[in-house]
Amino acid sequence: MLIPKKDFISILTEIYLSKAYFSHEGIYNAGWQDTIPYNRHIVEFHGYNWAQFDSTVSWYCSRPIKYQEIYEAVMANLSVLDIMIYEELDPPSELWGGVNTAHFLFGDRGRDSIAANVLLRGVGSYVLSAKIRVYPQDESVEPRIELYLWGADTTAYGFRDTLWIAPLRKDGLMYEYRMERTLLPGNEFTHLRGNWLHSNRNDRDTLWTKHAEITDISVYHIPRKF
């Protein structure tokens, strides 16, 4: 028995939404549709089994015009949901309050780093990016972006969760580094902290210096409704 058109559209809409969520969390790959238990849960929640869903998909795949109608209905549902989310939430905002023009780390400032201490805006997606060039003559050990989420507790250290560690290439070329993380309801992190140009100490030379530049630092918050 095929799943009725109305229910099939609802099921596909929810599967698209779950796919977007798992993609944001970095745990979804194309081709996992049949193995993610949550998708089976969606089908069963609507009162059908996976065999019925599979048969319905096969039936529509053999009838492209009818499947196009289903696809357009699903996209229309997603568009309505997208409008509802952004109408009810604050607009996206840039949170980086530091200087985001280029920093040239030579000479007297050769060991400087670009510290981060950004107040978070709660749940939603955070998109972090920067353009960084590290020259071959850079003398730091394992230069990298190293940022973490921080929240206060009864200790001076607070509690932390590593957000982003990105090794930096020492080839003199400018690279754009970018990452995204979604914070869900219930998290207690309040700040983004760490360094954009972190490195280990160079024990071989007490006079070592960094030779790098960084520009276009951005910490962008996109509100999400959960």
- pLDDT tens-digit series, residues 74-96: 888 776 665 445 555 667 889 99
Positive/negative CA dihedral, 202, 204, 208, 214: negative
Q: Which residue has the higher pLDDT, 2 or 90?
A: 2
What local confidence, expressed as pLDDT, does residue 28 receive? 46
What residue segments make up the domains of the chain, in order of their start? 5-88, 93-222
Q: What is the pLDDT of residues 20-56, one digit of tens each?
A: 555 544 444 444 444 455 677 788 878 898 889 889 9
Between the two ends of the chain, the Cα-to-Cα distance in Å is: 34
Contacts of 126 (CB under 8 A, 6+ apart): 120, 180, 181, 182, 183, 192, 219, 220, 221, 222
Three-state SS for 107? helix
Task: Tell me which amino acid residue 190 is.
Answer: T
Contacts of 191 (CB under 8 A, 6+ apart): 117, 118, 119, 120, 149, 150, 151
Cα–Cα nearest to 132, from 195, 181, 193: 195
CATH: 3.40.640, 2.60.120, 3.30.70, 3.40.720. Which one for 93-222? Answer: 2.60.120
What local confidence, expressed as pLDDT, does residue 1 receive? 79
- Examine the pLDDT at 219 and tell me if it is beyond 90: yes
Positive/negative CA dihedral, 20, 24, 27, 28: positive
Q: How many CA atoms lie within 13 A of 113 on its CB side?
A: 18
What local confidence, expressed as pLDDT, does residue 191 receive? 96
Q: Which residue has the higher pLDDT, 91 or 131?
A: 131
Cα–Cα nearest to 103, from 113, 93, 95: 113
Q: What is the dihedral of CA 23, 27, 33, 38, to 10 degrees?
A: -100
What local confidence, expressed as pLDDT, does residue 205 receive? 60
d(CA 101, CA 106): 16
What local confidence, expressed as pLDDT, does residue 111 receive? 57
Whether residue 127 contacts residue 180, with contact meaning beta carbons closer than 8 Å, is answered with yes
